[in-house]
């Protein structure tokens, strides 16, 4: 089935631009180690589409214009040099993915018929038709990998005379014409990875003329098990053949006859256990052979004598326990890889001696504990030897073993069991440049351990147990450049004589208690002493260290650094002292002499003062200074008074996470090159704009910044904001956080305590100015009479002011313009309370308990503009309450208990000259005669009622209720509106019931399954008869990795753990399993059949045959139930008709669903108990599970299944 969805992808233009920005497209082909071929083409937007002239359809990876693609294929086919359409790899669009964008000519844009845009749908490529590419004479590369192609017509590539590269990988190819490649006579490279081939596809090369240009074939990741004879007769010039990840266990002696030009053969990840007989005779030019991840248990190296031109052999990741015999005649082999096997001994004397060209030998990750002293005899040209990951120790005479390897340049002995490196162990290795002894258990190096290694440049001794080094142990290493001693237990390095050639020493994570004096007079440039136990640095310890450029002393226990300790380190550029216990006085020239220092890290220490640090010559070239994670409350002048550092180079300063509360505005003045200062994660509440001579960026994020009056410069000097990364700031008096850019200039306030009542917090607009804002919310029962009369904004919310009154009778008159009395439990207002607020413009009485308001309550408020009474308990508001509010502009009466608004109140509102907004929603309005005038008023004043849709009577919006409904009837009668409400309620109940019923029907299977698994209520559960040997016949596609993983890791363990089911799984490898009579007997002996359907199950003929027979049995026997489990997405069009019928009916279980286990155990029979009729016959306990396993590893029963106890 093809899904067609007509939609618009708004990202089309953007993706088109992005695709145009990629100048080239590349196809990479790896011929052999070290040789890769790349085919490059200029990116073309028409090359990611296919056009089928028969159907007049385009299929593209992106949205392309239909006319553009069609015209290119019809009128300009010579412009197409490559085509790459991979529908299942399409991830350019978020949804849907893994599809192509398809357009039909009948739905394409046609301005003549007023259709301006192409209509598109989503589809896949499933076949290639005859002469599809016949006009593309210049096409050289065709990439159709990652599609659903299952049929390629014989003349699909007719007239494609220039094609060199063809990729059909990851397609479920089933029907391939025997001649479809014959027209592509110029083809060089053919990729058909994971195309479901069961044997070598000889028929596709069966042409009248040999395909002499074909040199590269990739058939990896298939399920091939054999190569018919004469398969290479028409492809005689193949040089590279990839057969990895198949099922080859052996080859016929003439399997490769005719492939005389083959140079590289990949047989990795197969089932080979012996070297194929006659292969080398059939492949005289074979140079590269890959046989990793097979089933070899031993290997006879004498076969290398047969492969006279072989240069490279990789036989790693097998189970080889022994290397037998030896190479009997001269061999050209240069690289041998035996890593990741089970080799324990190398007993052969000179077993590779005839491989005189051998330069690389890899025996890593084996179990080697013994090596014959003459094992490597004759390997005078060997350059790389890897013996890491074995069990070698000092009992092995490593010196005599390695002595013949006079050309060796790289030796890896890491991850072994050496405890001592004996003197003379490496004598004779005069050309060795790299030696790794890491990850052993080395406790001692004898003083002449490295004698003879005059050319060694890298010595790796990481992760051992060294506590000390002999003074002369490194004397012989005249060329040593890198010494790695990290992760040992070294206590000191004082007396060790370092070679003059040494550049870098890494002693990370040891137990050094002081800085080693062995670096004096050396040429070492990089010293890493991180994670040691150094506590002090004295002047004498660092004398005469003139060449060092980088020193890392982080994660030590440094407490003191003597002044002038670094005086001799004139070349030092980077010094890391982080994560120590330093409490340095940076006003002293502690770093005297570090004239070249550019980077200094002092983070995570105990520095508590930062002052006048930049006045010393040691900081003249400093560019990066990290002081983060120290403990300092303030930062003052970094330069002495009157000093200007015009030549300072400091660019980055990190002061984050220091607990800084104050930082002066002149701190960075004088630093002409400063670019970035990080002061994030401190305790800075306010600061003045920093004075700098450069355009520096100051990061002040994650600070408790307060928008106080001293910070008003953020509004008065907006041009400076670009230099600051600012957090949200705290705005007084409610301490709410807001973006600085959203804070008004008048909201920048300073805290004041003078003349402020003790129960309040007061604020002014200027430092020490008059109080303009006060906030009193301490559960007050009366309003303080001592409030400053200069207060403009007063917050009295959150109190317990049951009766709104002052604490005394002597009260001043306030200049207050905004008064907040929200959420204060107010029930009554004293008659003359607002007399003292005659200048009030905004009054907020929200969330209180007012039920009525006296007529003269607001009379003094002649200038009041906004009055909010929402969320109270007002039942009625008389007209005289607002009679004197001549300046009123806004009235909020939402969320009260008001039922009626009388005509005189509405007239009063109309009389207000400046009135603009009213809110009346969420009240208990009635739609009757008392609100008739109100109903008319709503229509006439729609521009001032801001919540008209929330003015409801019952559940109906009043504005939509007919005016003739606003009549009064007797109390016993039922209004038309109530009848209407009743009808609507009934309809709603019926609809809800219908929805619930539909949901119950739709999810009935899940509900019944849940009832059974939780409460053992098994109504409507399938019935089964006893007397059968097994409970379940289980079938799945064992060639599908996902299907196999789910069955073996989830399904079978669950069946065994929960209910101890007896399960039988046929083995397709057993000859009897494919016999129809035997297969029917297996199914008949089971109570039910469980089939796991995955993406490619239709390509598994054995699965299809089993399903067909099980389906017939379920129709003939009512007590045999068929259960289908669906894993992933399945193309319905490719399924067996009976499968499609069951899936269409919905009678299947989706593995991805949450109820998969409930559904499954509901459908399955109860497992047979110990009293069953077969207990004594089969002698298998009820906890046994019968599952599929490769037949070579476990004994099978008569059915080809495997029994697991």
pLDDT (tens digit, 9 = 90+) per residue, 143-189? 999 999 999 998 999 989 999 999 999 999 877 888 889 989 999 99
The boundaries of every CATH 3.40.50.10140 domain in the chain are: 1029-1204
Q: Which residue has the higher pLDDT, 610 or 242?
A: 242
In this structure, the strands spanning 771-775 and 761-764 are antiparallel
CA dist list (Å): 372 to 330, 385, 934: 21, 16, 109
pLDDT of residue 646: 58
Per-chain mean pLDDT for the chain: 87
- CA nearest 407: which of 440, 380, 442? 380
Q: Which of 45-54, 602-611, 949-958, 1193-1202 is predicted with the least confidence, judged by mean pLDDT?
A: 1193-1202
**pLDDT for residue 1065:** 86
> Which of the 8 DSSP states describes residue 264?
E
* Residue 975, pLDDT score: 53
How many residues are there in the chain?
1205
DSSP summary character for residue 594: -
Q: Confirm if 193 and 169 have CB atoms less than 8 A apart.
A: yes
pLDDT digits over 1101-1150, tens only?
A: 888 888 888 888 888 887 888 889 988 888 777 787 888 888 888 888 88
Residue 22: count of CB within 10 angstroms of its CB: 9
The tokens describing 759, both together, are: 């129960």
- Nearest 5°: the CA angle 868, 873, 876 is 80
Q: Whole-angstrom distance between the N-terminal and C-terminal Cα of the chain?
A: 45
Residues 6 or more apart whose CB falls under 8 angstroms from that of 773 comprise: 732, 733, 749, 762, 763, 764, 791, 792, 793, 794, 795
Confidence of residue 1180 (pLDDT cuts 50, 70, 90): very low
CA 294 to chain centre: 33
Token reading at 1047: 């069955």
3-state secondary structure of 811: coil
Residue 112, classed as helix, strand or coil, is helix
Tell me if 83 sits within 8 A of 50, measured CB to CB: yes
Find, among 852, 846, 912, the residue nearest to 882 by Cα: 912
Mean pLDDT of 395-418: 96
- Is a pLDDT exceeding 60 seen at residue 752? yes
> Looking at the predicted structure, is the pLDDT value of residue 269 above 90?
yes
If you ran DSSP here, which 8-state letter would residue 276 be given? P
Residue 16 has pLDDT above 60, yes or no: no
Is the confidence at residue 762, as pLDDT, over 90?
Answer: yes
Model pLDDT, residue 1179 = 34
Q: What share of the chain is helix, strand, coil (3-state, %, to 5)?
A: 20, 20, 60
Which segment of 142-146, 508-512, 588-592 scores lowest on mean pLDDT? 588-592
Domain 608-748, what architecture?
Answer: Alpha-Beta Horseshoe (3.80)
- Beta bridge pairs of residue 677: 653, 698
Which of these, 492, 483, 538, lies nearest to 516 by C-alpha position?
492
Q: Identify whether 96 is preceded by a cis peptide bond (ω within 30 of 0).
A: yes
* More confident position, 1190 or 802: 802
Count CB-CB contacts under 10 A for residue 233: 14
Longest dimension (CA), the chain: 121
Residue 1187 pLDDT: 36
CA distance 71 to 59: 14
pLDDT of residue 506: 98
Q: Give the per-residue pLDDT at 1204.
A: 31
Mean pLDDT of 984-1004: 87
- Give the integer Cα–Cα distance in Å for 1152 and 1009: 16
Q: Where in the chain is the domain with CATH 3.80.10.10?
A: 608-748
- Between CA 1170 and CA 172, with CA 1191 as vertex, the angle to 5 degrees is 110
Cα dihedral: 445, 451, 455, 456 (round 10): -10
Is the per-residue pLDDT at 1177 higher than 50? no
Cβ neighbours for 695, distance < 8 A, ≥ 6 positions apart: 675, 723
Say how many C-beta atoms besides its own lie within 10 A of residue 1095's C-beta: 18
Tokens of 25: 């497209």
854-875 core/surface letters (b: 16 or more CB in 10 A; e: else): eeebbbbbeebbbbbbbbbebe
| 303 compared with 1200, residue with greater pLDDT | 303
Give the pLDDT score at 1199: 38
Q: Are 692 and 671 in contact (CB under 8 A)?
A: yes
Name every residue whose Cβ is closer than 8 Å to that of residue 392 and which is 6 or more positions away in sequence. 368, 369, 371, 398, 413, 416, 417, 418
Record the tokens describing residue 261, joined without a space. Answer: 């030009």
Counting DSSP H helices and E strands in the chain, the numbers are 16, 67
Query: Percentage of residues in the chain with pLDDT exceeding 90?
Result: 57
Angle at 936 between CA 934 and CA 940, to 5 degrees: 110
Strand-strand pairing, 842-844 and 818-820: parallel
Strand partners, 121: 102
pLDDT, position 982: 83
Which alpha helices (DSSP H) does 1003-1100 contain, by range?
Answer: 1004-1015, 1041-1046, 1052-1058, 1076-1084
Q: pLDDT, tens digit, for every residue of 817-864?
A: 999 999 999 999 998 999 999 999 999 999 999 999 999 999 999 999
Report the CATH superfamily, name and number, of domain 1029-1204. Answer: Toll/interleukin-1 receptor homology (TIR) domain (3.40.50.10140)
Name the token pair of 172.
């479920």
**Cis peptide bond upstream of 733, omega within 30:** yes
pLDDT of 1205 strictly over 80: no
Separation between Cα atoms, residue 1196 and residue 1202, nearest integer Å: 5
Instruction: Output the pLDDT for position 1039.
Output: 80
Q: Is pLDDT of 590 > 90?
A: no
> What would the pLDDT profile of 276-313 be if each residue is shown by its tens digit?
988 999 999 999 999 999 999 999 999 998 899 999 99
Kindly state the DSSP code that residue 870 receives in the 8-state scheme. Answer: -
When pLDDT is averaged across residues 99-126 and rounded to a whole number, the result is: 86
Helix (H) / strand (E) element for 868: namely strand 866-868
| CB neighbours of residue 908 within 10 Å | 20
Model confidence at 40: pLDDT above 60? yes
Q: Would you say residue 808 has pLDDT above 70? A: yes
pLDDT tens across 866-924, in order? 999 999 999 999 999 999 999 999 999 999 999 999 899 999 999 999 999 999 999 99
Query: What pLDDT, on a 0 to 100 scale, did the predictor assign at position 7?
Result: 32
How many angstroms from the chain centroid is the CA of residue 228?
Answer: 46
Q: Which of 45-54, 208-217, 476-485, 736-745 has the lowest mean pLDDT?
A: 736-745
pLDDT at residue 642 above 70? no
pLDDT of residue 623: 92
Tokens representing 100 are 């192509």
Question: Which residues share a beta bridge with 484?
Answer: 460, 506
Instruction: Give the strand pairing for 100-104 and 120-123.
Output: antiparallel
Whole-number pLDDT of residue 34: 87
């Amino acid at each position: 089935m093809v899904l067609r969805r007509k939609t618009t992808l708004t990202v089309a233009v953007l993706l088109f631009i992005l695709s145009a920005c990629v100048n080239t497209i590349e196809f990479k082909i790896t011929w052999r180690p070290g040789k890769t071929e790349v085919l490059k083409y200029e990116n073309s937007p028409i090359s990611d589409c296919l056009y089928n002239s028969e159907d007049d359809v385009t299929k593209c990876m992106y949205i392309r214009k239909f006319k553009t693609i069609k015209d290119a294929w019809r009128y300009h086919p010579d412009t197409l040099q490559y085509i790459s359409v991979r529908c299942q790899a399409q991830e350019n669009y978020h949804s849907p993915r893994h599809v192509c964008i398809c357009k039909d000519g009948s739905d394409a844009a046609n301005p003549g018929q007023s259709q301006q845009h192409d209509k598109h749908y989503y589809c896949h490529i499933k076949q290639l038709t005859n002469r599809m590419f016949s006009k593309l004479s210049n096409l050289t590369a065709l990439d159709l990998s990652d599609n659903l192609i299952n049929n390629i017509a014989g003349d699909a590539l007719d007239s494609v005379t220039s094609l060199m590269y063809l990729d059909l990988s990851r397609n479920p190819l089933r029907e391939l014409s025997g001649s479809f490649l014959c027209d592509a006579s110029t083809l060089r490279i053919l990729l058909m990875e994971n195309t479901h081939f069961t044997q070598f596809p000889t028929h596709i090369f069966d042409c009248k003329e040999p395909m002499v240009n074909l040199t590269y074939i990739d058939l990896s990741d298939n399920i091939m098990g054999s190569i018919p004879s004469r398969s290479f007769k028409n492809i005689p010039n193949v040089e590279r053949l990839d057969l990895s990840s198949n099922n080859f266990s052996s080859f016929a002696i003439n399997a490769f006859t005719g492939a005389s030009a083959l140079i590289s053969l990949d047989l990795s990840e197969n089932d080979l256990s012996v070297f194929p007989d006659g292969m080398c005779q059939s492949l005289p030019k074979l140079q590269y052979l890959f046989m990793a991840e097979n089933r070899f248990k031993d290997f006879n190296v004498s076969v290398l004598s047969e492969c006279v031109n072989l240069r490279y052999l990789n036989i790693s990741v097998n189970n080889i326990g022994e290397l037998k015999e030896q190479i009997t005649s001269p061999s050209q082999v240069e690289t041998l890889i035996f890593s990741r096997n089970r080799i324990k001994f190398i007993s052969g004397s000179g077993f590779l001696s005839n491989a005189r060209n051998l330069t690389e030998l890899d025996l890593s990750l084996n179990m080697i504990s013994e090596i014959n002293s003459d094992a490597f005899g004759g390997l005078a040209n060997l350059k790389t030897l890897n013996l890491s990951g074995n069990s070698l120790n000092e009992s092995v005479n490593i010196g005599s073993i390695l002595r013949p390897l006079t050309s060796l340049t790289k030796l890896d002995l890491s991850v072994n069991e050496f405890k001592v490196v004996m003197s003379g162990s490496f004598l004779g290795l005069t050309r060795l440049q790299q030696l790794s002894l890491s990850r052993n258990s080395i406790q001692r190096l004898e003083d002449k351990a490295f004698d003879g290694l005059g050319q060694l440049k890298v010595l790796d001794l990481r992760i051992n147990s060294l506590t000390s080094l002999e003074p002369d142990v490194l004397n012989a290493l005249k060329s040593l450049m890198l010494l790695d001693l990290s992760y040992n237990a070294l206590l000191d390095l004082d007396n060790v004589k370092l070679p003059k050639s040494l550049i870098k020493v890494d002693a990370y994570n040891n137990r050094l208690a002081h800085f080693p004096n062995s670096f004096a007079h050396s040429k070492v440039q990089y010293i890493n002493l991180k994670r040691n136990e150094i506590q002090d640095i004295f002047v004498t310890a660092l004398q005469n260290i003139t060449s060092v450029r980088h020193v890392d002393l982080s994660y030590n226990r440094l407490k003191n650094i003597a002044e002038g300790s670094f005086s001799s380190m004139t070349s030092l550029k980077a010094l890391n002292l982080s994560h120590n216990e330093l409490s340095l006085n940076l006003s002293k020239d502690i770093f005297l002499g570090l004239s070249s220092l550019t980077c200094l890290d002092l983070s995570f220490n105990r520095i508590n003062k930062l002052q006048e640090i930049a006045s010393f010559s040691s900081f003249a070239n400093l560019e990066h200074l990290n002081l983060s994670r120290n403990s300092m409350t303030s930062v003052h002048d970094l330069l002495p008074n009157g000093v200007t550092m015009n030549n300072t180079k400091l660019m980055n300063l990190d002061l984050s996470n220091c607990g800084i509360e104050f930082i002066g505005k002149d701190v960075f003045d004088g630093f002409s090159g400063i670019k970035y200062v990080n002061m994030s994660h401190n305790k800075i509440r306010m600061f003045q704009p920093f004075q700098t001579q450069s355009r520096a960026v100051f990061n002040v994020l994650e600070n408790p910044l307060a928008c106080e009056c001293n910070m008003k410069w953020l509004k008065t000097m907006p041009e400076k904001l670009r230099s600051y990364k600012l957090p949200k700031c705290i705005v007084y008096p409610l301490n709410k956080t807001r973006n600085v850019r959203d804070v008004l200039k008048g909201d920048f306030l300073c805290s004041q305590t003078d003349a402020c009542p003790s129960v309040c917090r007061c604020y002014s607009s200027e430092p020490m100015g008059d109080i303009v804002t006060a906030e009193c919310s301490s559960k007050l029962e009366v309003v303080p009479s001592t409030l400053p009369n200069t207060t403009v904004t007063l917050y009295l919310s959150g109190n317990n002011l049951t009766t709104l009154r002052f604490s005394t009778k002597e009260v001043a008159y306030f200049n207050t313009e905004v008064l907040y009395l929200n959420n204060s439990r107010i029930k009554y207002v004293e008659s003359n309370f607002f007399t003292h607020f005659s200048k009030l413009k905004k009054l907020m009485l929200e969330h209180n308990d007012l039920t009525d308001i006296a007529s003269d309550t607001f009379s003094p408020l002649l200038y009041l503009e906004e009055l909010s009474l929402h969320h109270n308990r007002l039942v009625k508001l008389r007209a005289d309450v607002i009679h004197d509010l001549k300046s009123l502009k806004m009235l909020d009466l939402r969320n009260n208990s008001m039922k009626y608004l009388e005509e005189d109140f509405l007239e009063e509102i109309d009389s207000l000259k400046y009135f603009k907004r009213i809110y009346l929603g969420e009240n208990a309005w009635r739609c009757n005669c008392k609100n008739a005038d109100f109903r008319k008023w709503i229509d006439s004043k729609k521009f001032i009622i801001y919540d008209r849709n929330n003015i409801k009577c019952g559940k109906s919006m009043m504005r939509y209720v007919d005016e003739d409904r606003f009549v009064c009837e007797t109390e016993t009668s039922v209004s038309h509106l109530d009848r209407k409400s009743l009808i609507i309620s009934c309809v709603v109940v019926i609809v809800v019931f219908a929805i619930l019923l539909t949901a119950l029907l739709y999810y009935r299977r899940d509900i019944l399954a849940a009832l059974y698994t939780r409460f053992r209520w098994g109504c409507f559960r399938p019935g089964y008869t006893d007397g059968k040997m097994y409970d379940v016949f289980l079938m799945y596609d064992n060639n599908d990795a996902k299907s196999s993983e789910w069955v073996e890791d989830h399904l079978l363990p669950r069946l065994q753990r929960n209910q101890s089911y007896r399960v039988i799984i046929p083995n397709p490898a057993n000859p009897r399993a494919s016999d129809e009579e035997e297969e029917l007997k297996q199914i008949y002996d089971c109570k039910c059949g469980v089939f796991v359907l995955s993406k490619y199950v239709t390509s598994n003929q054995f699965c299809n045959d089993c399903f067909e027979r099980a389906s017939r049995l379920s129709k003939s026997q009512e007590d045999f139930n068929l259960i289908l489990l669906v894993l992933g997405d399945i193309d319905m069009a490719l399924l067996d008709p009976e499968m499609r019928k069951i899936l269409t009916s919905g009678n299947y279980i989706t593995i991805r669903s949450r109820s998969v286990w409930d559904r499954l155990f509901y459908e399955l029979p109860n497992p047979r108990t110990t009293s069953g009729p077969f207990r004594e016959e089969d002698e298998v306990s009820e906890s046994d599970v019968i599952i599929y396993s490769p037949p070579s590893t476990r004994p099978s029963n008569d059915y080809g299944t495997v029994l697991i106890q």
